[in-house]
Structure 1
């Protein structure tokens, strides 16, 4: 992987791309690490191009299945910080390091809970293993039955548990053994039940903590992620040092100026291409007796770059563009169904950044045939990070034809699954006297089955691969980036769609004006360029989103 040895210099690590207003998407994604929904809920957030999957464990081991928060936090931690990980796609409009830190914090909270639950399992379960196995078998059968959609089956699951409890009471009274084994049998029946009540208190306390963090993030991020294990206390703490370097590498890769074009999927991380406008005319001398003064594509791009920096200025004091991010991008083509990407490497790359002289060479020379291409990008992060608008400009010269192409890309908000706040668990029950009326009954955060599930998983959390095999895991879409993997289309939101469409006209006019200025300075007849520019300026006013990369051929 390129720039594997990159690390931050000593001192404070300040996020480079995040702004104060880019927190909504970041905290929405981070909140998934604290959620207690069913893991299959995340499949609802799949979009047209990027689909995560849930790999289930054996059918007989469904009691080991993770919930959404457990599966999400582990999957993201492994993918973003795991050893030998593949390159990541940038998450524009978010701070991936913050999301990963919350995943680490959630895993740490659960690990502390699991340490207590493991002690409970040893004291009240392992020592009385026969009784524990019987109770676990009952809960597993009950869990399978309860998952049926038939209400009768659900009632049968509850009846089963009550029936087994009654049999346990009879067994305690009519003990078939005497002496030591009689007392051990009684303890084997009672101890797991006592352990369940103990475990329930531990699980309830942790569930409240996780839900408070979930709610706080969606309310504005009042509770920060605590990961002391990422701060080395001494030179010998290699695990903490590796974690610190992993977070530093993650932040550096987020700043990379290398992106990937995946056919109809558009540029990964920027969204699909919804519009395209080309200005292409012959380079003819303005004076028939003189030749055109030689210039290169980079000269035109540099002029466009300088003019784009003035976008936030206007003749009227009436709002307008916020300050955009203007950046030179190196775009690498990959297959539509590619499962991995490879970032540029070598002496022309430093800390995941392609150096300026290499970008200039690509702009001037790699305009036809294989290889990377250069694009000048103007990007706005709007709606607290929920909308990413990117306008890309490329300049090519083939024979005597100069072509300036402007394309629009838009990445919409994260799926609404990530913006739902925690709700109290309740159910409607009939009133005792006025049975024709109902009332809302508040339920505990952690029910009986959930306590058993957490307690059974706890001893295995010391070696997570076993849990991945027994309970299943979340498989993230590749090539993976936190932002684009769960993004909706912006066109469903009227104002977001308006923002994307309105950006096209001023960008196109600034680009054309800057390019024509360079052509005039170098002795090029710009009459045809001006006529074509005026035509495009009229056409772009009726811009409408379309799938520009789906060619009807």
Structure 2
């Protein structure tokens, strides 16, 4: 389950109470774990997929695939609308993806030079080593462990054979020297590449650790700062980041049937209050419209933080929203445009018109939302209020939405690479041995990928890529249900009561001022069973 967030406010990275989820998502850009790990973070509604490439030797790890996929999706030209990331700020996440890409680009430039000097010049030897590593990698990935051992034995056997050939060659002169160098140069290049890879790996892991430890690690993206009027690429990147922030502030959200409001999640509960409008003391009712009911409710919700008890009730964010209906299986959404929309924001007069006129039948709807960001941004709770007037009946509905914590995968810190083996003498006992930060296979993988990082489509074809769930938003794509956490579930349920009472009190006062008989309404309330349920899944 997810939640709805503030339309006109975007939490800044590092701001009090909202940085944990942002930093957790940003840390994915620096991770070196297998790409398939991202599939563990899939939830009921949003499924990331991994598109396999032609050769496993070119496949990306999680950080490489995540950074590229997020940057292309969030900043790419001609992209479709991005769903708001409520309770977090998507811009720092994208900036960290850009920063991680930049660090890897610098590493890949060095690896490319090493590959040119030690590989391309001695291409036959390089290809021979790569074929052996591909065979070993394929066998090591097999279910049969003996196949993996066979791959290692094959590589060791070739190394021994290469040494024997170099000792006694049937050729003399330049050809003999080249053949020897053809075998040795790729190995020398591997040692140089290993040093480059380890240096970069330590830097990436340090950033990963710092983000999850609450450190103020900064995303370095100098390419986003134009140094002169002629730097069009930098200016376009800066404008793309500004557009992303503006879209995050949009007051338009999308309702996708059983999936609830995109970026906000499924509706876990709903309450309603219906009243037949009758004049008080035989007098006429002072005419009013639904907007006249919404305004005092808005003012009353703004006062929730001013309780008489020092209970620590969080400061709410209260906003007016335009809700656009989309299909359950919609793969993309489009935001309204026109003269009534400026910077993804629907103008106040249009919001008021929708509130008064679009209550029944087709068209967008108006909702008044009050949102609480809790648990350092890991829980976003939203209550939505909609007012409907049909004939002589006034109906006020309140629905609850909750966006749960970021999946635990994004909360894991980097761990030292170890392997459990049996002891030599006491073979019935085991011990953990420390593995190199960058293993042999990883050095080879990075070295062969390096020259192709300047041609991303080719690299995607050869190695595969991460396919993000659509409609995409950073926060809801990898959110867990809050009901798995006892205290989070309690907070969601408890916060509903003061909201209901505030809406009820404002409604009674407004109707009383307009000459409506509120005798029956004053004694009623919204207090239905607040137990969470799948309110948008109609069992009919």
Take 1:291 and 1:477, find their aligned partners in 2: how far apart are those partners? 55
Structure 1 residues 343-387: Cα deviation after superposition (integer angstroms, max 9, x where no partner): 111111111111111000000000011111000000011111100
Matched, 1:465 2:422: no
Q: Corresponding residue for 1:75?
A: 69
Q: Corresponding residue for 2:440?
A: 448
Q: Corresponding residue for 2:531?
A: 544
What are the residue-to-residue correspondences of 1:268-417 with 2, within 5 Å? 268-288=262-282, 290-317=283-310, 319-417=311-409
Q: Corresponding residue for 1:258?
A: 252
Q: 1:315: Cα distance to partner? A: 1.9
Q: Corresponding residue for 2:51?
A: 55
Partner SS, residue 461 of structure 1: helix
Q: Quick check: 2:10–2:88 contact (8 Å CA) kept in 1?
A: no
Give the alignment's TM-score, normalised by structure 1.
0.94
Q: Corresponding residue for 2:4?
A: none
Q: 1:427: Cα distance to partner? A: 1.1
Take 1:47 and 1:381, find their aligned partners in 2: how far apart are those partners? 21
Take 1:308 and 1:226, find their aligned partners in 2: how far apart are those partners? 40
Q: Quick check: 2:379–2:402 contact (8 Å CA) kept in 1?
A: yes
Q: 1:341: Cα distance to partner? A: 0.6
Take 1:320 and 1:295, find their aligned partners in 2: how far apart are those partners? 37
Runs of at least 5 residues in structure 2 that lack an aligned partner in the other structure:
1-8
Q: Quick check: 2:224–2:235 contact (8 Å CA) kept in 1?
A: yes
Structure 1 residues 455-487: Cα deviation after superposition (integer angstroms, max 9, x where no partner): 000000111111011111101011100000000
Of the candidates 86, 90, 94, which is equivalent to residue 96 of structure 1?
90
Q: Please say which of residues 77-86 and 431-440 is displaced more in the overlay.
A: 431-440
Take 1:527 and 1:164, find their aligned partners in 2: how far apart are those partners? 92
Partner SS, residue 410 of structure 1: strand
Q: Quick check: 1:366–1:373 contact (8 Å CA) kept in 2?
A: yes
Of the candidates 123, 127, 134, which is equivalent to residue 129 of structure 1?
123
Q: 1:171: Cα distance to partner? A: 1.3
Q: Quick check: 1:428–1:438 contact (8 Å CA) kept in 2?
A: yes
Structure 1 residues 76-106: Cα deviation after superposition (integer angstroms, max 9, x where no partner): 0000101111110000111100000000000
Q: Quick check: 1:386–1:413 contact (8 Å CA) kept in 2?
A: yes
Matched, 1:45 2:37: no
Take 1:436 and 1:340, find their aligned partners in 2: how far apart are those partners? 57
Matched, 1:86 2:86: no
Q: Corresponding residue for 1:195?
A: 189
CA RMSD of aligned residues (A): 1.2
Give the alignment's TM-score, normalised by structure 2.
0.97
Partner SS, residue 454 of structure 2: coil
Structure 2 CA distance for partners of 1:217 and 1:16, relative to 1, 3 Å: closer
Structure 2 CA distance for partners of 1:198 and 1:17, relative to 1, 3 Å: closer
Q: Corresponding residue for 1:107?
A: 101
Take 1:515 and 1:501, find their aligned partners in 2: how far apart are those partners? 22
Runs of at least 5 residues in structure 1 that lack an aligned partner in the other structure:
1-13
Q: How many residues align?
A: 531
Take 1:110 and 1:121, find their aligned partners in 2: how far apart are those partners? 16
Q: Quick check: 2:24–2:211 contact (8 Å CA) kept in 1?
A: yes
Take 1:323 and 1:438, find their aligned partners in 2: how far apart are those partners? 53
Partner SS, residue 178 of structure 1: coil
Take 2:428 and 2:377, find their aligned partners in 1: how far apart are those partners? 49
Of the candidates 8, 15, 21, which is equivalent to residue 17 of structure 2?
21
Q: Quick check: 1:16–1:255 contact (8 Å CA) kept in 2?
A: no
Q: Corresponding residue for 1:500?
A: 492
Q: Corresponding residue for 1:232?
A: 226
Q: Corresponding residue for 1:6?
A: none
Structure 2 CA distance for partners of 1:16 and 1:501, relative to 1, 3 Å: closer
Take 1:353 and 1:550, find their aligned partners in 2: how far apart are those partners? 30
Take 1:273 and 1:488, find their aligned partners in 2: how far apart are those partners? 15
Q: Quick check: 2:10–2:249 contact (8 Å CA) kept in 1?
A: no
Of the candidates 240, 248, 251, which is equivalent to residue 242 of structure 2?
248
Take 1:434 and 1:402, find their aligned partners in 2: how far apart are those partners? 80
Q: 1:15: Cα distance to partner? A: 6.2
Q: 1:161: Cα distance to partner? A: 1.1
Q: Quick check: 2:382–2:402 contact (8 Å CA) kept in 1?
A: yes
Take 1:75 and 1:221, find their aligned partners in 2: how far apart are those partners? 25
Q: 1:435: Cα distance to partner? A: 4.2
Matched, 1:519 2:511: yes
Structure 1 residues 473-518: Cα deviation after superposition (integer angstroms, max 9, x where no partner): 1010111000000000000001100010001111111101101111
Matched, 1:31 2:27: yes
